[in-house]
Structure 1
């Protein structure tokens, strides 16, 4: 069964709400914006080499290259939702997020440089 996709209209509305409201945005708006931007990343960088995790809202596998089939993937990027929204929207660079320890990346290919900010339809 295929995952339900977030419509662009709903995703963009959630992004607008989280941008306008910042830290006071509703959990639903934050969750939808986070999942929508993860969905856009997976669409733009198809593959299964890197797993991007934004707990508790979602995770996607992306970027072409050698994949994995079982257990924890060798290339993992993890961050909180506020960091992901900043990164995906271009308000935070990859290098600055890693340097500030807002982004935790492990593995040789765990680097989203060139994939963020996320392209949206």
Structure 2
């Protein structure tokens, strides 16, 4: 079983966010922020009914409900790192991301608007 994601140190998150907002981010910044915000979502919306994927960095299962055990889950959300970070930091709303196809969501319970921003 893979290790759970853990939130990053506050100073590391602040530094990475500064670089991202200034357009100076590196892959390491995107990885740190993606995993940090997925870890926060996992803490705030525990469960196993929806899989949130941010390739190539990480994926988590969240939201209480029917748990899946094998194969593709019945509810999947997928986006890129920049979009995930923007959603987590209130730079983008869930509705804007879905409407602009920056987020792909299928299945029940895939509206994360009640959990965002983080």
Same fold (TM over 0.5): yes
Q: In structure 2, what is the Cα distance between the partners aligned to 1:85 and 1:76?
A: 18
- For the aligned residue pairs, the C-alpha RMSD in angstroms reads 1.6
Q: Name the structure 2 match of 1:5.
A: 6
CA offsets 1:92-111 (integer angstroms, 9 cap, x no match) = 11111100000000102211
Does the 8 Å CA contact 2:79/2:102 hold for their aligned counterparts?
yes
Q: Name the structure 1 match of 2:18.
A: 16
Aligned ranges 1:30-41 → 2 under 5 Å: 30-41=30-41
Q: Name the structure 2 match of 1:43.
A: 43
Stretches of structure 2 that go unaligned for 5 or more consecutive residues are: none
1:13 CA drift (Å): 3.1
Stretches of structure 1 that go unaligned for 5 or more consecutive residues are: none
Does the 8 Å CA contact 1:83/1:102 hold for their aligned counterparts?
yes
Aligned ranges 1:1-121 → 2 under 5 Å: 2-3=3-4, 5-9=6-10, 10-19=12-21, 21-22=22-23, 24-118=24-118
Q: In structure 2, what is the Cα distance between the partners aligned to 1:2 and 1:35?
A: 12
- The number of equivalent residue pairs is 116
More helix by share: 1
1:43 aligns to what SS in structure 2? Answer: helix
Q: So what's the TM-score if we normalise by structure 2? A: 0.89
Q: So what's the TM-score if we normalise by structure 1? A: 0.87
The 3 A distance-change label for structure 1 pair 56 and 75 is same
Q: In structure 2, what is the Cα distance between the partners aligned to 1:2 and 1:58?
A: 11
The 3 A distance-change label for structure 1 pair 92 and 74 is same
